[in-house]
Amino acid sequence: MDEVRLEREQDGTVAVLLLDRPTKRNAMTMAMYAEISGLLQEIDADDRIRVGIIHGIGGKAFTAGADLLDVHTGGAAEAWHPAHADRFDSGLEVHTPLIAAIEGYCLAGGLELALVCDIRVTGEDSQFGTPEVKWNLLHGFGAQLLPGIVGRSNALYLLLTGQFIGAQEALRLGLVQEVVPAGTSLDRARELAATISANAPMAVAMTKELVARSRDLNLQDGLRLYHAYNALIHASEDVAEGTQAFAQKRQPRFRGC
């Protein structure tokens, strides 16, 4: 059985990326890192897919992170080359909305994978942490994302202690958006995906892009970007469909254009 696979649901508008290595708590080998990243790019390239979900099989772990014996073997340094965003842990951009459905351990590189998602839903028994410092390793990309999500001091608390926190504490910090009964995070993620998929695809895509691009802009430049996107929205067929559906009190039939 493949350790990483992609399944399409809800008439092909939702893609579920599954990590299926439960005997190793879904720990990721170098091959899995590459495959996950490739499948995320496949999700992004398919206009029919409106939402992606990432989930770890088995209930014990979303993923416990990198398989240390496979990924961090030590020895002679590899030849240096400029970094480029070809993996999820090195800045790969995914424009399709992503939801992490988390059960069990979500640690180290596994937390990085969850952090690149836009929404995180977790079972109530899950544990989160960045234990890399215990093994003389760096959390890397996640250390750059985490402060913007939970705040600088909360991020440093996790990064420097290596301690784990539970689902309710993760919710308090804003690390996750919902805590659900254990074993139901994937079901809840599917419900959220259906809600997002029913919205206007152009507006959803532009909203995520606006959030991403505005992060490093001042307010005035962010508003200029908004006005540019808004002009495209108002020139689309879907804006007319959306307003007519509102006036007629019916569900809109969006075409994505």
Query: Which residue among the candidates 112, 124, 169, 191 is catalytic per the annotation?
Result: 112
Please confirm, yes or no, whether 35 is among the known catalytic residues: no
Tens-digit pLDDT profile for residues 182-232: 999 999 999 999 999 999 999 999 999 999 998 888 889 889 988 988 898
Cα separation values, 84 from 81, 92, 211, 236, Å? 9, 8, 22, 34
pLDDT of residue 84: 67
Helix (H, G, I), strand (E, B) or coil at 224: helix
CA atoms lying within 13 Å on the CB side of residue 168: 1
Statement: residue 73 has pLDDT above 60: no
pLDDT of residue 241: 81
Tens-digit pLDDT profile for residues 130-184: 999 999 999 999 999 999 999 999 999 999 999 999 999 999 999 999 999 999 9
Statement: residue 75 has pLDDT above 60: no
**Distance separating the N- and C-terminal Cα atoms of the chain:** 39
Give the rounded percent of residues in the chain with a pLDDT score beyond 90.
73
C-alpha torsion sign, points 25, 29, 35, 40: positive
Helix (H, G, I), strand (E, B) or coil at 119: strand
- The domain made up of 4-197 has a fold known as 2-enoyl-CoA Hydratase; Chain A, domain 1 (3.90.226)
Domain ranges of the chain: 4-197, 201-248
Query: Which residue among the candidates 35, 132, 169, 209 is catalytic per the annotation?
Result: 132
Statement: residue 100 has pLDDT above 60: yes
Across all residues in the chain, what is the average pLDDT? 92
Please confirm, yes or no, whether 112 is among the known catalytic residues: yes
What does R_g of the chain's alpha carbons equal in angstroms?
A: 19
pLDDT of residue 76: 47
